[in-house]
Chains A and B, each alone.
Chain A
Amino acid sequence: MSVLPYLVAGWIFLIGVYGLVTSRNLIHAVGCLAVTQSSTYVLLLAIGYRDGGTAPVYASVPRDARVVDPVVQALTLTDVVVGATVTALLLALVIQLNKRHGTIDPDELSALKG
């Protein structure tokens, strides 16, 4: 079944958004956002896959070896780095929010406070 890897990416995306929508805890929500983002890794790597391909690193394979697409692998690397740093920034925001408002339940943060 050739669309299964793509469908997995779509499923991870939707389950991550489901977690975000139903979240009762902002740390859990940040985790869900990371899950949502990881769907893009699966999609990128699935698009770049080639049957029987090896890693596009020619240190130990001959130059005419069949390799997977290096462009999407590089994009995934970028994606992972940005995802990790944004997660750290969001967690810092959650800590600050907890100090100011004493809660990390998004439903209790609806009121504006000076």
Chain B
Amino acid sequence: MTRRGRLVLFLAAAAVVAALLAAAFVALPHFGGAHHPYGERAVRAAFAHRTANAIASVNFDQRAFDTLGEESILFAAVLGALVLLRQTAGERRRPPRPTRVSPAIRRLGVLLLPVTLLVGLYVVAHGQITPGGGFQGGVVVATALHLLYVAADYGALERLRPLSLYEIGDAAGEAAYAVTGIATVLAGSAFLANVLPWGTFGTLSSAGTVVVLNAAVGMEVACGVVVLLATFLDQALEIEKPEPRQGDGSARPGGGGG
């Protein structure tokens, strides 16, 4: 199909979809209205389990089983990217050359790394009382490590980032979530039911299993993002295309410039 034909077809279809969407939107509940039956019940259920962050309660208590599925999607996506971006036959791995970084950026990175790491862990640990949780905190923790790449160079990041350890961490986080579910069954309750003591509302030791599941998710997300970024950075910085074979075909590694 020509580009023009495709565009005409899209515009016709989009007009129909737009009309249908507009008709549906008019029939939706009034924007900003006070009628939220599910929301009110979810808030009441969060209070019943002494969880101050109602969103964390929905994700890790009321819909904990769905979040296991969501976490598995993340795990599968990391695994898929790892398989797709592996070093293929004929590709060479060239250690990246150390680069000069301006002292100001280096100092800023060194200063920010521990702060960012702490903020990430804080966000994971306080997921049950303040906005945040395993998903958000995990990404912040992974970002902290990559400040090394900005402040120093890729070699420094690689030395302080044993990738196989993070791959294990990714799998362990995923497994910890499922194991928590099995533990709740062994405790005589439903899969991923909130069986731990609920504690005091609004304190660090509240909300029961929400804390455990947040920690599991935080570990998986942090390790998963590190592994994911590592595969992309390897492609960009280390792995080189095979040289087109010609004549004697003795392409020596380490020859090409960056």
- Give residues 101-145 of B contacting A (CB, 8 Å): 129-131, 135
**Complex interface bits, A77-114 against B, C-beta within 8 A gives 1, otherwise 0:** 11001100110110111011001000000010000000
Whether the pair A59, B80 counts as a contact (CB closer than 8 A) is: no
Residue of B nearest to A14 (CB): B14
Report which of A2, A21, A82, A88 forms a contact with B32, defined as CB distance below 8 A: A2
Distance to closest chain A CB from B138 (angstroms): 10
Whether the pair B85, A78 counts as a contact (CB closer than 8 A) is: no
Query: For B202, what are the chain A residues with a Cβ–Cβ distance below 8 Å?
Result: 58-59
Interface of A is mostly: helix
Number of A-B contacts (CB under 8 A): 152
CA distance A62 to B242 in the complex (A): 64
Whether the pair B22, A96 counts as a contact (CB closer than 8 A) is: no
Interface size on B, residues (CB 8 A): 58
- Give residues 59-74 of B contacting A (CB, 8 Å): 59, 63, 66-67, 70, 73-74
Known A-B contacts A18-B14, A51-B34, A92-B81; the reply to A85 vs B55 at CB < 8 A is no
Most central of B10, B38, B84 by chain A CB within 10 Å? B84
Which residues does A use to contact B, with CB under 8 Å? 2-7, 10, 13-14, 17-18, 21-22, 46-51, 55-59, 63, 67-74, 77-78, 81-82, 85-86, 88-89, 91-93, 95-96, 99, 107
Which residues does B use to contact A, with CB under 8 Å? 3, 6-7, 10, 14, 17-18, 21-22, 25-26, 28-34, 36, 38-39, 42-43, 46-47, 52-55, 57-59, 63, 66-67, 70, 73-74, 77-78, 80-81, 84-85, 88, 129-131, 135, 201-202, 221, 224, 228, 231-232, 235, 241
